[in-house]
Structure 1
Amino acid sequence: MLINRVLTIRISGKERKEKVKNLLLDLAHFKNLLILLLRRYKELYGYYPTDQSILYGLIKEGEYSSKKEEKLKSFREVKENILKDEELKRFLNALKEQKKKTDNNYILQQVIRDVVKSFKSYRKAYKEYLKNPKKFKGTPRPPKPKKLKYLMNFSVELNVNTFERLEDSILIKLRINNKEFLKVKLPKEFTFEVKSLRLKLFGTDVYADVVYKVELPEVEKTGKHVAGIDLGLNNLITLLSTNKDLKSLIVSGKEIKAFNQWFNKEKSKLQSEIDTLTNKLSQTEDREKAENIKKTLAEKLIKLKELSSYRKRKIDNDFHKISRKVVDVLKATDHKKLYIGKGATESKDGVNLGKKNNQHFVSIPFRRLIELIKYKAEELGIKVFEIEEPFTSKTSPFADIFEVREAGKEYLKAKEKGNRELLKELLVKLKGLTQAVRRCRGVLKDKVLDKIFNADCVGAYNIVRVGESSLRLIEDLKLLFVKLCNPIKFKLTDFLYKVSCESLCGGIAGSSSLLGRVESFDYQLCGNLTTS
């Protein structure tokens, strides 16, 4: 089976970075001008002229030619309308100048294609909004230009005309007539065919994403067990499996949370200094003082972008390592399915969790972690499913989770209607159905059995129950109690750096590689739990 993969290469060297960064900023400016032209045209004539060939025809040298009479007619109409308005004429002339400055028609065509796609997506979303406004948080808005001074993220796709594959590297044509090139070295033994390239700016960093196709060998899907993962802040990953030899596993998220808190403080401090300098600049009449303030302000803005780049690299690096180790453990212990609760990603979605929790949840990219686990697991023959997780951490592992979820839906509907009497009745019903109460942070007490469990382990178990549509997955009660009460807890640094993949997977060489095959497992996570 052939699948697309992306190799991200960070471009180093001051001159090399500047060349790519300047090109991307020129392209971003071109994109801004095109968006402004389309928005102004809509104001005057009531529609967006989003035909790609017409837009490119407006800025290219020479006459516009097309075999279709309708397109020629549309082009003439758009051009005449632009020439009638001074502001539209100014935008068109600026686009032509920017085209010359960019000096790469192949990339410009891709930028035009991206802008057209954005406007079409907006129109589609707006039509859907008119039919069903409840699906949206607010009215969809058309694309708008971004200030280049604060531009943090910009990327552009390159086609085969803009790069050439050499033996151990890729030669990228940045500016055609000026003969400006960039040579990107590939890793050793990279024998895959390169399909496309993407140049990407994030903060002060510049990347080249190499898109290539790789053939995955068929993996025997012989797994017997299923596992569930509950994502959170303090406990980043809580994993519970139906495999009797694999204990419940918790990977701490406190290190990422602390790093995120440090980042937010540093960002807030820099932003405050930038705001102070901006106010001083607006009040300063002395030219020499104004120049000094501008210089300091530019330095602070660069530092802010560098900080964001560093954060992205660190979290991405940690998530890659976490996902690889989790997937290798599951493969080694004979799993066929993995269910992941997606409540952590949905908690960002307009839910007010309080000032501190909102800050942590919004800044930690749980969606990225899920996607990394998903593609790595599927490559090793483990199917991954995302599960809605309302009430999974609040319901006893011995209660009927499906009844609880149905009652929860009724409760939410009643809450929308504002029926207070019905809400009270449903709340009492929910409390009875869950058969559990939260005693303190991370602890859940079963009111019927009078037993105390780890709330995150209960959440992971209930996620598996929902995914498998089964009320009882582990018949051995003693084994289930051990799994719900005694998880092994790892600090993130220990999980990533002190626990080697070889020790987790019984010393199998190559188990940490992308397509590594794991056949045995011998580690402290395993043991005869029924006798522990």
Structure 2
Amino acid sequence: MIYHQEEKPKQVDNKRIASIDLGLNNLATVTFNQAGLIPFLINGRPLKSINHFFNKKKAELQAIIKNKTSKRLQNLCTKRNFKVDDYLHKASRYLINKLVKLNIGTLVIGKNEGWKQELNIGSQNNQNFTQIPHTRFIGQLTYKAELAGISVIITEESYTSKSSFLDQDVLPKYKKGEKYSFSGNRIKRGLYKSAEGILINADVNGSLNILKNCNP
């Protein structure tokens, strides 16, 4: 069912900004430019689980039918797509409802053109990441945010995961072949260390850099 709903202007403070870093284990990491608002994460592991089951069953079926198709394979694809879409809708609704409660007026989302084509995080992680429909998730967030009166900005996120927010590193624009050095570094999955030895969640660091990139 498709329906159209007119946007209703609402009294929101556009200076209260939230920023989203999209990822794999953490589907979305949300930070704010307001002191006292604690960052929160949207779990991405259920989507990984859905895709893992789909890939396993698809491989088993294709080993039997080779390059052909079948009703079982079509049903498997349809069921997987429904599950993914359902999770994305629930995640985006939860996220927007939380922003409305916090009186957020602007939402910044990090996204690079061709980011999945140039991905190099290992073959298995590449497959997991490319199977998550982040663009569809961004679309769902965008229209739900706008219906709530929240402005949405899509911005570049080059080097936001490598740059140290706590050390206020400069965020350079991406240029192929160029190499940059940064104050901190990711010491293990999910953990970033600043130049002064302060530990911060790596995705939170990336989300804050996206926020800084859009609103210095």
- TM score, norm. by length of structure 2: 0.91
Structure 1 unaligned blocks of 5 or more: 1-6, 8-209, 279-296, 416-422, 471-532
Could you tell me whether the CA contact under 8 Å between 2:24 and 2:45 is conserved in 1? yes
In 2, Cα distance between the equivalents of 1:397 and 1:213?
A: 40
List gaps (5 residues or longer) in structure 2.
Answer: none
| Superposition map of 1:147-162 within 5 A | none
> For residue 456 of structure 1, what is the aligned residue in structure 2?
203
> How far off is 1:263 after superposition?
0.5
Cα distance per residue 1:433-491 (max 9 Å; x no partner): x21112111111112x22111110000000000011x1xxxxxxxxxxxxxxxxxxxxx
Residue 162 of structure 2 aligns to a residue whose secondary structure is: coil
Q: How does 1:1-400 map to 2 (within 5 A)?
A: 7=1, 210=2, 212-275=3-66, 301-343=70-112, 346-400=114-168
Superposition CA RMSD, Å: 2.0
Q: Is the 8 A contact 2:17 2:105 kept in 1?
A: yes
Map 1:450-489 onto structure 2 (within 5 A): 450-468=197-215, 470=216
Give the counterpart letter for 2:157 in structure 1.
Answer: E
Amino acid of the residue matched to residue 258 of structure 1?
Answer: S
2:209 paired with 1:441: no
Q: In structure 2, do the counterparts of structure 1 residues 338 and 215 end up closer, same or farther at CA, with 3 Å as the change threshold?
A: closer
AA in 1 matched with 2:210: I
Alpha-carbon distance, 1:226 to partner:
0.5
1:19-39 CA distance string (max 9 Å, x none): xxxxxxxxxxxxxxxxxxxxx
Q: CA, structure 1 residues 451+213, in 2 after alignment: closer, same or farther (shift >3 Å)?
A: closer
Please give the per-residue CA displacement for 1:367-408, whole angstroms capped at 9, x wherever unaligned: 00010001100111111111111111111113444x4415x5
Distance of 2:118 and 2:163 partners within structure 1? 24
Residues 12 and 103 in structure 2, CA contact (< 8 A), matched pair in contact too: no
Q: CA deviation at 1:350?
A: 4.2
CA distance in structure 1 between the aligned counterparts of 2:34 and 2:24, rounded to whole angstroms = 26
Q: Which amino acid aligns with 1:247?
A: I
Q: Is the 8 A contact 2:30 2:39 kept in 1?
A: yes
Partner amino acid for 1:332?
K
3-state secondary structure, aligned to 2:96: helix
State the aligned residue count.
Answer: 216
Give per-residue Cα distances to partners, 1:291-320, cap 9 Å, x unaligned.
Answer: xxxxxx8xx700000000001111111111
TM normalised by structure 1 equals 0.39
Asked if structure 1 preserves the Cα contact closer than 8 Å seen for 2:167 and 2:194, the reply is: no
1:103-128 residue CA offsets vs partner (Å, 9 max, x unmatched): xxxxxxxxxxxxxxxxxxxxxxxxxx
Q: Distance in 1 between matches of 2:133 and 2:119?
A: 16
Deviation, 1:355, is 1.7
Distance in structure 2 (CA, Å) of the matches to 1:223 and 1:400: 24
Going from structure 1 to structure 2, the CA distance change for 1:222 and 1:349 (only over 3 Å counts) comes to: same
Deviation string, structure 1 residues 141-191 (Cα, Å, up to 9, x no partner):
xxxxxxxxxxxxxxxxxxxxxxxxxxxxxxxxxxxxxxxxxxxxxxxxxxx
3-state SS of 2:82 partner = helix
Q: Give 1:260 shift.
A: 0.6
CA contact (8 A) 1:229 1:460 kept: yes
**C-alpha separation in 2, matches of 1:312 and 1:462:** 32
Code of the residue aligned with 1:388 in structure 2: it is E
**Shift of residue 242, structure 1, vs aligned partner:** 2.0
Q: Distance in 2 between matches of 1:228 and 1:362?
A: 22
